[in-house]
Structure 1
Amino acid sequence: KWLIEGAQPSSWVSGLFFPQGLLTGALQAYARRYRVPIDALMFDFEPINYFLSQEDVFKSCKLKKHKVGSTYHFLLQN
């Protein structure tokens, strides 16, 4: 899917088994694409104060007939 549509705008990092691998891969992809040394790159995080109840996710999923995994970005847009 990423090959055809491009990388997704965001990822649920804490849901992955090894998030360091995902982040390192993102740095490598950027460094290769823009020909920048990977050692010159770093992430800048800005935590947001947002809580998403799992019950709300499930209810919205059933209401909109979406798969559970594809619901998060729809909830954040509403």
Structure 2
Amino acid sequence: MQVVQIEIDEKTLAEVDEAIEILRENRQDVFREAFRELAKRKKKEAEVARQYAEAYRNNPVQPGEFEIEEEQLIEVWKD
């Protein structure tokens, strides 16, 4: 394993330490898990963004596609 040094503001570290104490877990394990989950989430977000871009590239928005008539707006927002 490699050693990585990061700076964390005191408030965040205090929150992490509080959770660690409650869960009785190791700080290193908690940070490892958090970074793994963050990396997984970021990869998923990037993949979704790529899919959206590809979909719009293959099926561009047509003129008027998202226009809503005033009557439709009144119906939707009347309550």
Superposed pair shares fold, TM > 0.5: no
Which of structures 1 and 2 has the bigger CA Rg?
2
Using the size of structure 1 for normalisation, the TM-score is 0.28
Greater per-residue helix proportion: 2
Using the size of structure 2 for normalisation, the TM-score is 0.28
User: Which has the higher relative contact order, 1 or 2, with Cα contacts under 8 A spaced 6 or more apart?
Assistant: 1
